[in-house]
């Protein structure tokens, strides 16, 4: 969040205030949100409007919108990030100012993620990458952001769509205190459509397997330490091995939390 996000919020407010009257009304926000993500119903959009409209006057003032988009409130983190993306922009303009070596590294990463080699990234192919880049977002928020980044609305991300996402939405630092919302998300009905239900189930299963693997590693470490008689040595080993374990786990999954 911070100053860059606040500046972007001011720019977006002026853009979304289509009639230029100094406020964003319900219809203006509905149009914006449904262009960003076609899975949203009118009811979903109005739910988000009500969340932002803290003074409940039926209109979003400039400060209300800026405060919401630049705040650390994680309730609609996927929607916040998604709103920063421009659906009208040309994908091939993405990253035009990026250093060539960085762009090549991303091309290599894209190729590694593209398991079937079709030049497109499906949701599950890019899920781990997004989870590591935005570790404080829940799975539903990541899917919402993925759908917003899909400018062509073909259900997949090409290289330039992924590049635009990376350039536009800054990488997050993992917050160990951030509580992920694995279920009961405010946009749950829109995100969990029938056609992506199996994808979500597989993503949730993977998260559970990652956590079980971490717990097993901690159990194995505790068994090893129980055999060390010297208390000071045992404590030193615990600190060193636990830090190593957490680094390895984070590199693999993007999760910072210990069980």
pLDDT attached to residue 41: 84
Domains in the chain: ranges and CATH: 3-73 (1.10.238.10), 91-181 (1.10.238.10), 194-253 (no CATH)
**Distance separating alpha carbons of residues 155 and 123, to the nearest angstrom:** 8
Tell me what pLDDT residue 78 has: 87
Q: Which residue has the higher pLDDT, 209 or 50?
A: 50
Question: Using only C-alpha atoms, what is the Rg of the chain?
Answer: 21
Cα of first residue to Cα of last residue in the chain, in angstroms, is: 27
pLDDT for residue 209 = 75
Exposed, middle or buried by CB within 10 Å (0-12, 13-18, 19+), for 148?
A: buried
Position with higher pLDDT, 191 vs 227: 227
Query: What 3-state DSSP class applies to 258?
Result: coil
Distance CA 80, CA 66 (A): 11
b/e per residue, 9-47, with b = 16+ CB within 10 A?
beebbeebbeeeeebbebebbbebbeebbebbeeebbeb
Percent of the chain clearing pLDDT 90 (strictly above): 19
Q: How many residues does the chain have?
A: 259
Q: How sure is the predictor about 178, in pLDDT bands with cuts at 50, 70 and 90?
A: low
Least confident span in 55-64, 136-145, 245-254: 245-254
Largest CA distance in the chain: 74
Write the pLDDT tens digit of every residue in 3-60: 566 787 888 888 888 888 999 999 999 998 888 887 788 888 899 999 999 999 999 9
Q: Determine the pLDDT at residue 162.
A: 93
Give me the helix-helix angle, 197-225 and 231-253, nearest 10°: 160
SS3 content of the chain, % helix, strand, coil (to 5): 60, 0, 35
pLDDT at 155 over 80: yes
Instruction: Please check the confidence at residue 171 and state whether its pLDDT lies above 60.
Output: yes
Structure tokens at 63: 């400060």
Q: What is the pLDDT of residues 96-116, one digit of tens each?
A: 667 788 888 899 989 999 988
Q: Where is average pLDDT lowest: 24-33, 59-68, 87-96, 117-126?
A: 87-96
């Amino acid at each position: 969040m911070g100053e860059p996000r606040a500046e972007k919020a001011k720019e977006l407010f002026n853009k979304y205030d289509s009639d230029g009257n100094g406020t964003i009304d319900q219809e203006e926000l509905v149009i914006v949100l449904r262009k960003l993500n076609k899975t949203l119903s009118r009811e979903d959009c109005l739910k988000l409007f009500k969340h932002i409209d803290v003074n409940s006057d039926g209109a979003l003032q400039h400060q209300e919108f800026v405060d919401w988009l630049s705040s650390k409130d994680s309730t609609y983190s996927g929607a916040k990030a998604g709103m920063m993306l421009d659906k009208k922009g040309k994908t091939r303009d993405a990253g035009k100012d990026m250093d060539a070596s960085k762009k090549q590294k991303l091309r290599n990463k894209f190729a590694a993620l593209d398991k079937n080699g079709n030049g497109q990234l499906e949701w599950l192919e890019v899920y781990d990458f997004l989870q590591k880049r935005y570790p404080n977002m829940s799975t539903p928020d990541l899917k919402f952001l993925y759908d917003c980044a899909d400018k062509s609305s073909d259900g997949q991300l090409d290289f330039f769509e992924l590049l635009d996402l990376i350039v536009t939405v800054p990488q997050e630092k993992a917050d160990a205190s951030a509580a992920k919302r694995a279920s009961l998300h405010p946009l749950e009905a829109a995100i969990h459509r029938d056609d992506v239900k199996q994808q979500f189930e597989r993503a949730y299963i993977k998260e559970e397997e990652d956590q079980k693997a971490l717990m097993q590693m901690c159990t194995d470490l505790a068994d090893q330490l129980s055999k060390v008689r010297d208390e000071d040595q045992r404590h030193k080993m615990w600190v060193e091995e636990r830090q190593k374990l957490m680094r390895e786990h984070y590199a693999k999954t993007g999760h910072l939390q210990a069980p």
